[in-house]
Amino acid sequence: MPMAQLFTMHGAQDALARTFGYPRFRPAQEDALSALACGQDVLAIMPTGAGKSLCYQVPALTLPGLVLVVSPLVSLMKDQVEALSAAGVAAGYLNSTLTPSQQDIVLERARAGAYDLLYVTPERLQDARFEAFAANAPLPLIAVDEAHCVSQWGQDFRPSYLGIADFIGALPARPVVAALTATATPRVQADITELLGLEDAHVTLSGFDRPNLSFSVTRLPTKEKLARIVEHARTHPQDSGIIYCSTRKDTEAVHEALLTAGMAATRYHAGLSRAERAENQRAFITDDAPVMVATNAFGMGIDKSNVRYVIHHNMPGCLEAYYQEAGRAGRDGEPAECILLWNDADISTCRFFIEQDAGNERLDEAEKEAVRAAQRRMLEAMVGYCHTADCLRAHILRYFGEDAPDECGNCSNCLGEGQKTDVTFQARAIMRCVHELRGRFGKGVIASVLRGSGTKRIAELGLDSCRTFGALSGESEALIKAVTELLAAQEFLTITEGSYPKVELGPRMREAAEDGFQLFMKPLTPKRARKARAATPVPTDYDTELFERLRALRKRLADEAAVPPYVVFADSALRAMCIQRPADEAAFLEIPGVGEVKLQRYGQAFLKEINP
């Protein structure tokens, strides 16, 4: 299908350098932009921090007309518009935080062509006034951010996303559509393509690895979690961090403990007033309170780039959510830690939430059950992450369908912390049992057969005559189930979706039958608490005293302009200034993150500080 050229990559490159101060696109950005440049729809699947926003911000600078960005994240709109304004880009947003007369002004300005970019919520697209505006506006490109919200299979389904395709269909000329998400499962991908009505879309899949993040998993009794968190915050007093808790009550307790320990911490959960949430978020973003304790209500759309650690006080319900939340650490590319604390109570809580199924009124009973089944599967993969003794990074990447080396050298398992149990023997027995049962049963039946359980059900099914009956008679049901989950997480087995998930042989089944096959997991009950991890070494090959002065200058300029410090410059830009020590404007422009507008605004102040 021949398509019109929308913009050139040369122009895009130019906009990247002049406005954002970056020398080159990342490979995934280049891939997505090349397709958009030719007028092709794009489905971009890129992890948090990979640079999705430039995929529509750069076209907005090179295209005539207005780029519309649909996003459910009201707080992100304000942050992005602020950051864009700091870089000299004309952008606006329309959402319910504006008064009706403010909204009128934004629409008026948009009509007059004052913006290159306009952020809107999906609900806005159904508003008659907005539809009338859109019908007459030149809209060459629509970007749908957080595109997985259209899918009932993801963790953040938003019914309003189902109206986006109709909105696009009703426009006089169909714009090019870019759908962006950090959620990669094939099911969600298919939903996005279909429900957003993407046409012959180019799929950009960027690597999910975040090499600067280190991962660790620690099984810890609930009453020890608090002390561990306080200790971490205390030993990293200069660092900004987020602590996620599964309930408001835990959030309050952790927050309280940090305050008692003298830390500048703040909190965020749905039980606080709107005003307090906004104020606490502001305090966190501006580093007035660098430690945030929050439920998962916090973080969507926060792109604070200098978060140095994310600690989970509880295990989340799926790896998608975990990786998204943990991924809020280290967006500036500098080393950062992702620490998961968990115990069996967390698993029970997750199960409870799944069976309770809040929301989703649009679904009928069968659909609800299908959603629950999918959530149960996702939970199993999360539990597998907690149990595995193999590389944590590899576990995550393989879950998202990516190849990964067996060891990363930057996670608690690769670094050899904690004990391992050899479960090769048990794993082989499970593989044989699944083979013998021909994938017809779930984990519970498999465990019963292997334990040689004499229950009525097993006898009724005639399974007491299996060859593997009683092959693991001394083992607990919990251990057999955990090893089954681990085998599934590593694709030796597959656990089906549906109301009664069945265990089948997986794509890597043959490897499990080979001589060299070995499987390790963490002991189900830890023998003793380990001592805390050593702090990550902070890079010291630059002038840290100058760095602190630049940081203070950044904070002053940011406060004057009423924007967060990272909107002025990222930590990585300050560090580059300390290393390169630019002496004049031309050298200052060489710093990654310095574009023409930032040079003009801040160049002199920073040059003076660097060269007193």
Q: Within 10 A of 555 (CB to CB), how many other CB atoms are there?
A: 16
Q: Total number of residues binding Zn ion (CB under 5 A)?
A: 5
Kindly state the smallest distance separating residue 378's Cβ from ligand ADP, in Å: 21
91 neighbors 81 (Cβ within 8 angstroms): yes
Kindly state the smallest distance separating residue 180's Cβ from ligand ADP, in Å: 8
* Closer residue to ligand ADP in complex, CB, 41/332: 332
* Closer residue to ligand ADP in complex, CB, 46/341: 46
Distances (CA, A) of 208 to 144, 214, 219, 382, 404: 20, 14, 25, 17, 10
The binder of ligand ADP chosen from 9, 18, 26, 435 (CB under 6 A): 26
Q: Which residues contact 523 (CB under 8 A, 6 or more apart)?
A: 419, 420, 421
d(CA 71, CA 164): 11
Query: Judging by beta carbons within 10 Å of its beta carbon (0-12, 13-18, 19+), is residue 222 exposed, middle or buried?
Result: middle
570 binds, among Zn ion, ligand ADP, none (CB under 5 to 8 A by kind): ligand ADP
Which pair of structure tokens corresponds to residue 490? 């590593």
Binding residues among 582-611 for ligand ADP as defined by CB under 6 A: 592
Residue whose Cβ sits closest to ligand ADP: 51
* Closer residue to Zn ion in complex, CB, 289/408: 408
d(CA 12, CA 34): 9
Binding residues among 327-346 for ligand ADP as defined by CB under 6 A: 331
46 binds, among Zn ion, ligand ADP, none (CB under 5 to 8 A by kind): ligand ADP
393 binds, among ligand ADP, Zn ion, none (CB under 5 to 8 A by kind): Zn ion
d(CA 12, CA 53): 14
DSSP state of 147: G
Kindly state the smallest distance separating residue 22's Cβ from ligand ADP, in Å: 4
d(CA 587, CA 62): 26
Question: What's the chain's Rg over C-alpha atoms?
Answer: 26
User: Interface with ligand ADP by CB under 6 A: which range of 43-51, 163-171, 543-551, 581-589?
Assistant: 43-51
* Closer residue to Zn ion in complex, CB, 58/408: 408
User: Interface with ligand ADP by CB under 6 A: which range of 42-50, 270-278, 371-379, 601-609?
Assistant: 42-50
Kindly state the smallest distance separating residue 147's Cβ from ligand ADP, in Å: 12
CA proximity to 339, closest of 231, 488, 238, 489: 231
Strands 117-120 and 91-94, how do they pair?
Answer: parallel
Distances (CA, A) of 607 to 487, 580, 585: 57, 12, 8
* Closer residue to Zn ion in complex, CB, 417/475: 417
d(CA 110, CA 113): 5
DSSP state of 595: -
Binding residues among 257-316 for ligand ADP as defined by CB under 6 A: 303, 305
* Closer residue to Zn ion in complex, CB, 411/610: 411
- The alpha carbon torsion through 315, 321, 322, 325 (nearest 10 deg) reads -120
| Per-residue x/- track, 381-420, Zn ion (CB under 5 A) | ----------x-x--------------x--x--x------
State the residue for tokens 């595109």: 147
| Per-residue x/- track, 48-77, ligand ADP (CB under 6 A) | xxxxxxx-----------------------
The binder of ligand ADP chosen from 32, 46, 110, 164 (CB under 6 A): 46
SS3 278: helix
SS3 track for 487-506: HHHCCCEEECCCCCCCEEEC
* Closer residue to ligand ADP in complex, CB, 46/117: 46
Kindly state the smallest distance separating residue 413's Cβ from Zn ion, in Å: 6
200 torsion bin: left (phi>0), alpha (psi -120 to 50), beta (else): left
SS3 22: coil
Kindly state the smallest distance separating residue 331's Cβ from ligand ADP, in Å: 5
391 binds, among ligand ADP, Zn ion, none (CB under 5 to 8 A by kind): Zn ion
* Closer residue to Zn ion in complex, CB, 216/448: 216
Q: Within 10 A of 269 (CB to CB), how many other CB atoms are there?
A: 21
* Closer residue to ligand ADP in complex, CB, 29/121: 29
Q: Does 570 bind ligand ADP (CB under 6 A)?
A: yes
563 neighbors 87 (Cβ within 8 angstroms): no
Q: Total number of residues binding ligand ADP (CB under 6 A)?
A: 17
* Closer residue to ligand ADP in complex, CB, 337/571: 571
* Closer residue to ligand ADP in complex, CB, 141/519: 141
User: Interface with ligand ADP by CB under 6 A: which range of 21-29, 134-142, 213-221, 365-373?
Assistant: 21-29
Kindly state the smallest distance separating residue 405's Cβ from Zn ion, in Å: 9
* Closer residue to Zn ion in complex, CB, 215/441: 215
The binder of ligand ADP chosen from 7, 25, 93, 298 (CB under 6 A): 25
SS3 track for 411-452: ECCCCCCCCCEECHHHHHHHHHHHHHHCCCCCHHHHHHHHHC
Kindly state the smallest distance separating residue 548's Cβ from ligand ADP, in Å: 21
Kindly state the smallest distance separating residue 534's Cβ from ligand ADP, in Å: 28
* Closer residue to ligand ADP in complex, CB, 145/485: 145
Contact footprint for Zn ion (CB under 5 A): 391, 393, 408, 411, 414
Contact footprint for ligand ADP (CB under 6 A): 22, 25-26, 29, 46, 48-54, 303, 305, 331, 570, 592
